[in-house]
A and B are shown apart, each in its own frame.
Chain A
């Protein structure tokens, strides 16, 4: 079960529908693993409904009602797919759709000996939405962020100076937090990372790469 969660203000923006698409998709993917956050988001949606119920109504005439009633006949027959309860340990359906397959089917770009990145397209022009594959025991060179970074562990796990993170754990890093995540020794780690500005490697050994790390948003 996930131990690290989005803060309440992120969940509030998620429930209010005011979070950017890429970030909302990452929070949604975390909730796939986390019943507590699903519950909290439900409460926050109840709050939204309470605010909605107390809006000052705007007049809607019978013309509108009749127009809608007339359109009911044109609708395809009632059909809906039941929302599947997320299965523990499974890659969130939302990501499977964006990946159009499995991790193995993706194009991975090799960054270092132990780190490869695969960029997924959400259509959100403000954020890069990418999967990071770190080999077991591999290290992401120490880096800082020019913007914010959301990370969600999908497979395996990693640790940094602040703790160790496993499947379903969610991290939010503000600009200028410096860290050097290392994958667990036992297995490869796959994470989802959502960035609004490129990473910036801090060590002299990797700094030369910085100019090549442009944001791949969209």
Chain B
């Protein structure tokens, strides 16, 4: 994909002159005016991704996947007022809602009886410090670029863990690999993508 296409939403300019992106602006319009045109734009972009996410690596039927799409998009509408473009990227925000709805759906299908919703355990993140759109966009562009360079075996594991929602142990089972190999591939991938923790000791 050319940089031009890819960067389309990034070059969009908010009326205030502050650089923001199209999806954040849509969320703000929904929050401010219950703007259905903005919602429709969001839907056309995100619904097909949510459906793909629902179907990756799962045996959900198309009907259940469509249900998940509806559920996520309704949540997006309802929660738009809680979205803060200063503190989070719109695509990350939508992704975490989709992730949580999918987790809850899996648990419902397994008749998992719990007092906790996925939202309680992994709420949409609010950054601590005002989040710099520019900085975060750069880091996401960098990650996207570097993702292309990842060896296939590392990219495959990341897709299993994130898009298919498999634990490292499940991924190891499905790929018939030792757990240690899966973990080290994840670690190597994150290293290449320059995602790391500050100097740490592990418990």
Contacts and interface: CB of A to CB of B under 8 A. Distances in A.
A18 B165 contact: yes
Contacts, number: 222
Given A12-B161, A48-B162, A78-B81, A68 B70 contact: yes
Interface residues of B, number: 83
A52 interface: yes
Contacts of B14: none
Interface in A154-180: 165, 169-172
Majority DSSP secondary structure for residues of B touching A? helix
A205 interface: no
Interface in B52-90: 52-53, 55-56, 65-66, 69-70, 73-74, 77-82, 89
Interface string B89-118: 101101110111011000100001111101
Interface stretch (A1-9, A108-116, A136-144, A206-214): A1-9
A51 B49 CA distance: 10
29 contacts: A4-B201, A6-B202, A9-B183, A9-B187, A11-B197, A12-B190, A13-B167, A17-B122, A21-B121, A39-B127, A43-B139, A45-B96, A46-B143, A50-B140, A50-B144, A51-B162, A51-B163, A57-B52, A58-B65, A59-B48, A60-B43, A72-B39, A75-B77, A80-B82, A83-B123, A94-B120, A122-B116, A165-B203, A171-B203
